[in-house]
Structure 1
Amino acid sequence: MLKQLLFNTDKRCLYKFVYNLGVKGTLSFNRFQKRLKKGEFFPAFHFISVTDDCNLNCQGCWVMGKKKNNRLSAEQLDQIITETKAQGSYFFGILGGEPLLYKPLFDIFRKHADCYFQLFTNGTLLTPDVAEQLRQCGNVTPLISFEGDETVADVRRGGKNVYQRTRQAIENATGAGLVTGVAMSVCKSNIDLALSHDFIQSLIDRGVLYLWYYIFRPVGENASVELSLSKQEIEQLRSYMVDARTKYKIAIIDAYWDEDGNGLCPAASGLSHHINASGYIEPCPVIQFATDRVGDQPLADIYRSSLFLKELKTEIPRKTSGCILMEDPIWLVDYVEKHGAIDTSGRNNEAARLRAMPVVCSHGSGTPIPEKNWMYRFAKKRAFFGLGAYG
């Protein structure tokens, strides 16, 4: 894996990956920890959904069904990044919708060349020209969603020929020398593929450097609760990842477990929060409620004064180490109503949907399975990107 990173990655991309993400990312996490010890809070990094626009219609997507699609202005996005950098944090997850539909995107990447961005994309718009633009920026890693084989991918993503288009996107990205990742939202319809040797080996053969598994979370207009994993399947996924980390030449990322296999919630830990395309600051992308909005006051002041976000960090761990939306959706509705949080889903029915949603298992439901690989144990203790900060 290291050999592939060193010799197959564009040198500019390699430098930005090592310095902007590795060195500055670790320093930013250390600053985050120091703030917590002082009783202060500002996230280690932000997820930012730059637009609600998308060219697919996925099961379990949090932006589908909105009465009106929104998008951040370039000025708003620049403000978020600038204020976050002032706190010593330089890593950002860029989401949508489909972020490649956001016109100011590459201008932002170029303007903030001292940052590192993870671009969450369905891949269908990642053409050779787009890959070349990303190579020239150097400070972006595309994370390409891969949701199943020829049949499953079209159903999961609500499109046509998604499997082939995704494979082509991977080849475009690795061919340009980008630090390329693949993500899979593991659910009942794709778990067999997710846990197969052939799947991981095919990614390695194509030059993919990291694979990020995360658990399907039922949300949005087409929540598809029936796709949620059972406790047994979650334990099966966790066990497979722990073993895979000892034998495959690819980094395997998860968002949900610490080095001892205990569940964690990045929002409850304060590692990350989500800013949606309307500028609302949400605990995470799937908890679509907020009391605060970008621009109302500086971000540092918002995080200093928001009781909604502050109490969430103490209340959720009392309930679960997993996903509160999945394990106790009614409690979540009661909590947001207690704080007078508004529905930021754009559908105006999120509270009612959660009250009617059945309880499903999450990563906090299974038996802890400790890491076997010492490097992953070390990373999850000491590095921000190993502690579930991708979650």
Structure 2
Amino acid sequence: MAENFNLESYLSNGVENIVKGAIKASLSNPKESIFIAKYAMSSKNSRKLRVEAENRGEHIPPFLIASITSQCNLHCKGCYARGNKACVDREAQNQLTDQEWLRIFEEAKEIGIGFILLAGGEPFMRPDIIREAGKIPEIIFPIFTNGTMIDDGYIKLFIKHRNLIPILSIEGNEEYTDARRGNGVYQKLIDAMDIMKKNKILYGTSVTVTKQNLDEVTTVEFLDELYSRGCKVVFLIEYVPISMDTQYMAFENEEREILKEKLVGLRDTYEDMIFISFPGDEKTSGGCLAAGRGFFHINSHGGAEPCPFSPYSDTNLKNVSLKEAINSPLFKNLRDNNLLMEEHAGGCVLFERQEQVKQLIVETRSEV
């Protein structure tokens, strides 16, 4: 990592670029444009809070990932959450309550976190939490959903609370999507897109990108289809293996460079769409952004994890504040030991170093 790399500036500039992109993407919708313009002011205040914290020697990431439920109504092939038993058919016991999630969201607002990605399971199975999130306009909540539960009630909620942005998971065309997610899911996604376009709701899509489908899901044909249906945000999520047997599907440096080049062209071609690559090029971000450097993950039980693909925790939000969780012993060890900066073959450095992560938890507990 370069000595002059400034993580806070890198992250905050990234947030500002997303906000600028959102303003451009919403120009055809006055109500959406007004909300994004107001949010831009809140975003500046959030950055101020983070800078003040940085000057005190505290680092506050601008993003959180919150899996608000472990329950899901689909059984997608190769699902990482089901693979590590973080996703189940019925609501698990001892998950965070609506009130506990609201407390976390309010704390996030107070310390300068401006984006909270809601995930699951299927997050729309916790409607009360979604409604409460909508009441905090200082935070944008992208909601990563399989898209099968969007009904009239949720459409009204999206119209009322513009900070709730549905992000629909799609695998490409109908054949690929239904093959992974189940027969008829693609059509449900198309129906949801058409309803949201009709109601001028800002929404996006999430595409899991592998070595095998990188070319297909970045084609003009595929993206034109999304664009024509009103999609304004595209998350390109690098595939993380659920086992070493599927590591051949994960990106290596060559694929990341290809995607990086493609993104330049896509952003020029689709000027009023936002393209976000996750986790993206770690070289330009000074290493992996997990474990509180750029974000961390809160599982449905309140466990603070480095990221959804590294499901290990030594701290629970039921017992500590959000600021304390950011500086959990595990997170501090991951940051201080430079494990997040290590080279790796592909996919996720924490996935490849999972035995080291487990050992850090053991060492932390032995020190208590």
Length-normalised TM-score, structure 1: 0.76
1:257 shift after superposition: 4.0
Indicate if the aligned counterparts of 1:257 and 1:264 stay in contact, CA closer than 8 A.
no
1:161 shift after superposition: 1.6
- What corresponds to 1:335 in structure 2? 360
- What corresponds to 1:93 in structure 2? 117
By relative contact order (CA 8 Å, sep 6+), the higher-ranking structure is 1
Question: Partners in 2 of 1:33 and 1:256 — Cα distance?
Answer: 23
- What corresponds to 2:17 in structure 1? none
Cα gap change, 1:255 to 1:264, in 2 (>3 Å): farther
**Does residue 311 in structure 1 map to residue 333 in structure 2?**
yes
Question: Partners in 2 of 1:160 and 1:46 — Cα distance?
Answer: 32
1:94 shift after superposition: 0.9
Indicate if the aligned counterparts of 1:186 and 1:216 stay in contact, CA closer than 8 A.
yes
Q: Deviations over 1:163-213 (max 9, x none)?
A: 222222222222221111111110245323212111112222222112121
Structure 1 stretches lacking a partner, 5+ long? 342-391
Question: Partners in 2 of 1:301 and 1:262 — Cα distance?
Answer: 24
Amino acid at match of 1:254: S
Cα gap change, 1:244 to 1:52, in 2 (>3 Å): same
Question: Partners in 2 of 1:232 and 1:45 — Cα distance?
Answer: 27
**Does residue 144 in structure 1 map to residue 168 in structure 2?**
yes
Amino acid at match of 2:323: A
Question: Partners in 2 of 1:337 and 1:104 — Cα distance?
Answer: 37
**Does residue 19 in structure 1 map to residue 38 in structure 2?**
yes
Q: Secondary structure of 1:169's match?
A: helix
**Does residue 167 in structure 1 map to residue 194 in structure 2?**
no
Length-normalised TM-score, structure 2: 0.80
Q: Deviations over 1:269-304 (max 9, x none)?
A: 622111110011111111101111012122223434
Indicate if the aligned counterparts of 1:126 and 1:169 stay in contact, CA closer than 8 A.
yes
Amino acid at match of 1:191: L
Indicate if the aligned counterparts of 1:49 and 1:99 stay in contact, CA closer than 8 A.
yes
Question: Partners in 1 of 2:284 and 2:24 — Cα distance?
Answer: 29
Q: Deviations over 1:67-87 (max 9, x none)?
A: 864343111111101222221
Question: Partners in 2 of 1:260 and 1:251 — Cα distance?
Answer: 22
- What corresponds to 1:238 in structure 2? 260
Quick one: percent identity of the two aligned structures? 26
1:230 shift after superposition: 4.6
Q: Secondary structure of 1:253's match?
A: strand
Question: Partners in 2 of 1:167 and 1:189 — Cα distance?
Answer: 24
Q: 1:289-368, aligned counterparts within 5 Å?
A: 289-304=312-327, 306-314=328-336, 315-320=338-343, 323-340=348-365
Range with bigger deviation, 309-318 or 203-212 = 309-318
Indicate if the aligned counterparts of 1:268 and 1:313 stay in contact, CA closer than 8 A.
yes
1:109 shift after superposition: 2.9
Indicate if the aligned counterparts of 1:16 and 1:116 stay in contact, CA closer than 8 A.
no
Cα gap change, 1:333 to 1:240, in 2 (>3 Å): same
Structure 2 stretches lacking a partner, 5+ long? 1-20
Question: Partners in 2 of 1:287 and 1:176 — Cα distance?
Answer: 38
**Does residue 266 in structure 1 map to residue 285 in structure 2?**
no
1:216 shift after superposition: 0.7
Question: Partners in 1 of 2:137 and 2:256 — Cα distance?
Answer: 38
Q: Secondary structure of 2:102's match?
A: helix
Question: Partners in 2 of 1:311 and 1:230 — Cα distance?
Answer: 26
Cα gap change, 1:219 to 1:23, in 2 (>3 Å): farther
Question: Partners in 1 of 2:112 and 2:24 — Cα distance?
Answer: 31
Q: Secondary structure of 1:15's match?
A: helix
Cα gap change, 1:324 to 1:205, in 2 (>3 Å): same
* Count of residues paired in the alignment: 335
Amino acid at match of 1:236: I
Q: Secondary structure of 1:168's match?
A: helix
- What corresponds to 2:27 in structure 1? 6
Question: Partners in 1 of 2:259 and 2:331 — Cα distance?
Answer: 30
Partner residue of 2:216 out of 165, 184, 193:
193
Indicate if the aligned counterparts of 1:35 and 1:42 stay in contact, CA closer than 8 A.
yes
**Does residue 76 in structure 1 map to residue 100 in structure 2?**
yes
- What corresponds to 2:53 in structure 1? 35
Cα gap change, 1:90 to 1:137, in 2 (>3 Å): same
1:240 shift after superposition: 1.2
Indicate if the aligned counterparts of 1:46 and 1:274 stay in contact, CA closer than 8 A.
yes
Q: CA RMSD in A?
A: 2.9
Q: Secondary structure of 1:163's match?
A: helix
**Does residue 46 in structure 1 map to residue 64 in structure 2?**
yes
Indicate if the aligned counterparts of 2:239 and 2:249 stay in contact, CA closer than 8 A.
yes
Amino acid at match of 1:333: K
Indicate if the aligned counterparts of 1:49 and 1:96 stay in contact, CA closer than 8 A.
yes
Indicate if the aligned counterparts of 1:25 and 1:90 stay in contact, CA closer than 8 A.
yes
- What corresponds to 1:119 in structure 2? 143
Range with bigger deviation, 145-154 or 109-118 = 109-118
Indicate if the aligned counterparts of 1:128 and 1:172 stay in contact, CA closer than 8 A.
no
Q: Secondary structure of 1:289's match?
A: coil
Question: Partners in 2 of 1:29 and 1:59 — Cα distance?
Answer: 39
Q: Deviations over 1:138-165 (max 9, x none)?
A: 22111111112222112322x2222222
- What corresponds to 2:8 in structure 1? none
Q: Secondary structure of 1:290's match?
A: coil
Amino acid at match of 1:15: I
Range with bigger deviation, 308-317 or 276-285 = 308-317
Question: Partners in 1 of 2:285 and 2:137 — Cα distance?
Answer: 36
Q: Secondary structure of 1:339's match?
A: helix
